[in-house]
C-alpha cells in the first residue's frame, strides 16, 4: 500500500497521466515477481556501465510478452 502511494507520487511528479499510473500499479499487483526480476536486471545492467534508459529498454523488450499479458 505505502509502496503504491510512493510509486504514484513519483510517477505523477514525472508527468505520467493518472490513467497510466493506475494501469501500471494494477500490472504490478498482478505479478510483483516479474517486476522484481525486471528491476533486478535493470540494476545489474546499470552496475555494468549501461545507462538506465538503455538498460530499461533492453530489459522491458526482453519481457515484452509477459508485460502484454498483464495489460
CA distance 45 to 19: 30
pLDDT 10s digits, 4-30: 888 888 888 989 999 999 998 899 889
pLDDT 10s digits, 33-52: 999 999 999 999 999 999 99
Name the one residue in this structure whose C-alpha cell is 549501461. 50
**pTM of full prediction above 0.85:** no
CA distance 18 to 27: 14
Residue 1 has pLDDT above 70, yes or no: no
Across the range 59-64, mean pLDDT stands at 95
Domain boundaries, the chain: 1-30, 31-71
Which residues have a Cβ under 8 Å from the Cβ of 69 and sit 6 or more positions away? none
> What is the predicted pLDDT for the residue at 5?
86
Amino acid at each position: 500500500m505505502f509502496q503504491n502511494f510512493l510509486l504514484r507520487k513519483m510517477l505523477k511528479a514525472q508527468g505520467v497521466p493518472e490513467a497510466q499510473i493506475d494501469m501500471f500499479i494494477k500490472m504490478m499487483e498482478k505479478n510483483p515477481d516479474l517486476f522484481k526480476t525486471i528491476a533486478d536486471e535493470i540494476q545489474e545492467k546499470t552496475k555494468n556501465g549501461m545507462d538506465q534508459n538503455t538498460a530499461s529498454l533492453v530489459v522491458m523488450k526482453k519481457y515484452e510478452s509477459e508485460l502484454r499479458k498483464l495489460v
